[in-house]
Amino acid sequence: MSDPAFHAFNAQHLVTLGIIAVFCLLLMWTARAGKCPKIIRYSIGFLLLGYAVFFYVQQAMQNALSWQYALPFELCSLVLIACILSLFRPNQFTTEIAYFWGVGGVLQATVTPDLSRGFPSWDFIMFFWSHGATLMAILFLAACREFRPRRGSIMRMMIALNAYGLVVGTIDAITGWNYGYLCRKPAEPSLLDYLGPWPWYLLSIELIALITFLLLELPWRISGSLGKQDSALANGG
């Protein structure tokens, strides 16, 4: 029996989003109430590591590993790596990457997945395992009292984002791949469909990224804690 087709915002999608939201809220509450205990950090970290290991093992067993799809060149993959690094060894830059890149990008991907098959297909399970756990990690890290963006974070994040686009976009253009959807839009409906044709939707993403980063910085700016360097993370440890 074949797996059912995936349809955005159907019952299984909404239930999955609800479960992810509940875990995110619980982790944020825990982080704000305590001092981000290592047991939680490591648990989320191993959940993400477990996904990465399971993904490559599964792909290898199915003879499905390919340069075109298996390299960690997707934006969400880089955010996942930044989350793992930040969870096991807290670092200001990787945490900022996880926060600024992740909240907008991973959340958008989770709400409008590029999926063709629904639950209980492995595509569905693996997608929401990676994106759900990454969102949990991002919001947990952001809620930890040790984290606060530094001054100039938005400029650094925009430079890093454009460096990613330049490097990965060049690789895509040379090879015909489409990491980061830098050469064409996803096959399934997504928010990119409303941002114009290629390459104009890339400029739209640039503007959306800047606005998103400004909004994500706003809580710290309002509270007056932006740029304060009295945390362990500010010194990279």
H or E stretch at 87: helix 75-88
pLDDT tens digits, residue range 11-27?
999 999 999 999 999 99
| Of the listed ranges 25-34, 110-119, 220-229, the one predicted with least confidence | 220-229
Neighbours of 124 (CB within 10 A): 21
* pLDDT band at 1; cut points 50, 70, 90: low
Distance CA 171, CA 185 (A): 17
Whether 20 and 110 have beta carbons less than 8 Å apart is answered as yes
Q: What is the pLDDT of residue 235?
A: 45
pLDDT tens digits, residue range 86-95?
999 988 899 9
**Mean of all residue pLDDT scores within the chain:** 88
Candidates 56, 90, 91; CA nearest to 72 is 56
Q: What's the angle, vertex CA 21, arms to CA 119 and CA 94, rounded to 5?
A: 100
pLDDT tens digits, residue range 121-153?
888 999 999 999 999 999 999 988 778 888 889
